[in-house]
Amino acid sequence: MHQCVLNYTINKSILLGKGGFGSVYLTQNELNQEFACKIMQNLEISRSLSQSQNNQRKLKQLVDRELSIMSTLDNLNIGKNDPFIF
């Protein structure tokens, strides 16, 4: 997971809803850093979900193949409960 390295200072107090007289607002550069950080986090989450979906798809393919093999083997044993006739 991408980690954001942000130095929280009194300048960040506006993010906590403590605006008003005497507050120091975030600069545009600080806001850009915050947004860039969130975008990187979202990309990492998206990548992780995509990998998980790929793993699920591969697992389903393996299970489907196993079921197909079992079905084929079952079909080859037609009349398996009938006694052998010599």
d(CA 71, CA 14): 65
**Which pLDDT belongs to residue 10?**
41
Q: What is the pLDDT of residue 64?
A: 92
Consult the annotation and say whether 18 binds a ligand. Answer: no
- Kindly state the tokens that stand for 32: 């850009």
- pLDDT tens-place string over residues 28-73: 777 777 787 788 888 888 888 888 999 999 999 999 999 988 888 7
The residue with tokens 């992780």 is 48
Residue 14 has pLDDT above 60, yes or no: no
Q: Domain coordinates of the chain in residue numbers?
A: 29-75
| Cα separation, 56 vs 38, whole angstroms | 27
| 6-15, 18-27, 43-52, 72-81: which is most confident | 43-52
Separation of alpha carbons 47 and 39, rounded Å: 12
86, two tokens: 């010599």
The band of 2, judged by pLDDT with boundaries at 50, 70 and 90, is very low
